[in-house]
Amino acid sequence: FAGIWCRWTSVRKLADGETTDDLFGFLTTEANREVGAIHPKAMPVILTQPDELDVWMNAPVGEALRLQRPLSDGMLACVDPPRPLE
């Protein structure tokens, strides 16, 4: 997933006082066909090629944001959940 990470110091809960926390987030885009059947609003941006990872990590923001697109239809498959162990 295309994501961001930041270490942040603040008061998030008064009882805890000031803490330093690792905050994470990921970039989303419109859903493709497979994800849209389950969650029509959005899906995570999924990087599938090594050069995309390099662009996400190192390129100027305008170039990196061009990666904000859904996977092509058919690149994901929905599978049945595993059966419980007996």
Per-residue pLDDT of the chain (86 residues; tens, 9 = 90+): 998 999 999 998 899 999 999 999 999 999 999 999 999 999 999 999 999 999 999 999 999 999 999 999 999 988 888 888 87
- Residue 70 and residue 68: Cα distance in Å, rounded? 7
Q: From residue 79, give the alpha-carbon distance in Å to each of 33, 34, 82, 83.
A: 15, 11, 9, 12
Instruction: Tell me the pTM.
Output: 0.73
Q: Are 29 and 20 in contact (CB under 8 A)?
A: no
Q: Are 19 and 10 in contact (CB under 8 A)?
A: yes
pLDDT of residue 77: 87
- Residue 8 and residue 20: Cα distance in Å, rounded? 5
pLDDT of residue 85: 86
